[in-house]
Amino acid sequence: MSTADLARKVIAVATALEPLTHLPEIRSISAFNTEFLIRLKTDYDPWLKFEPLSQWAYAFNAPIEIALDYGTSADVNARFEMAGHQVCVTERMNSAHAYQLGAELQTPFAQGQPLQMTAAKLQELIHKFAVQAATS
């Protein structure tokens, strides 16, 4: 991809992002050949830090996918198209929390077999687990 092509992609996505001031604040954006990666400003709470991601997913009607990596964490992603380009809003989750979500959903969960859910379901579960963690 040429520098000019990348610049056009960045301008298109930046222009599409500009009016979205009602959504949680962006911490960083990375531009790759195939997609843009967005990281959001989040709470440090191990559950509530996914609230901003779920709000972006809800706004774009994007499914949430949670995929285990080869370490002790999982990637939580919401992918959608913006200005004709693929965008991924992403956050990291402790693998123990990812397995807890899988158990709650009664869904088999392993490397190469990601969990998928709606933004509304993720919001419901993160609030449930945040309350449980706060009261235990």
- DSSP result, the chain: --HHHHHHHHHHHHHHHTT-TTSPPEEEEEE-SS-EEEEE---SSTTGGGHHHHHHHHHTTPPEEEEE-SSSEEEEEEEEEETTEEEEEEEEEEHHHHHHHHHHHT---BTTB-EEE-HHHHHHHHHHHHHHHHH-
Write the secondary structure of 97-132 as one string of H (helix), E (strand) and C (coil). Answer: HHHHHHHHHCCCCECCECEEECHHHHHHHHHHHHHH
Query: Residue 88 pLDDT > 90, yes or no?
Result: yes
pLDDT band at 1 (very low <50, low <70, confident <90, very high): confident
Task: Look over the chain and give the mean of its residue pLDDT values, rounded to a whole number.
Answer: 92
What's the pLDDT at 70? Answer: 79
pLDDT band at 110 (very low <50, low <70, confident <90, very high): confident
What's the pLDDT at 22? Answer: 96
Question: Is pTM beyond 0.75 here?
Answer: yes
What's the pLDDT at 85? Answer: 95
Query: What pLDDT digit, counting tens, does each position of 46-85 carry?
Result: 899 999 999 999 999 999 999 998 778 999 999 999 999 9
pLDDT band at 33 (very low <50, low <70, confident <90, very high): confident
Query: Residue 86 pLDDT > 80, yes or no?
Result: yes
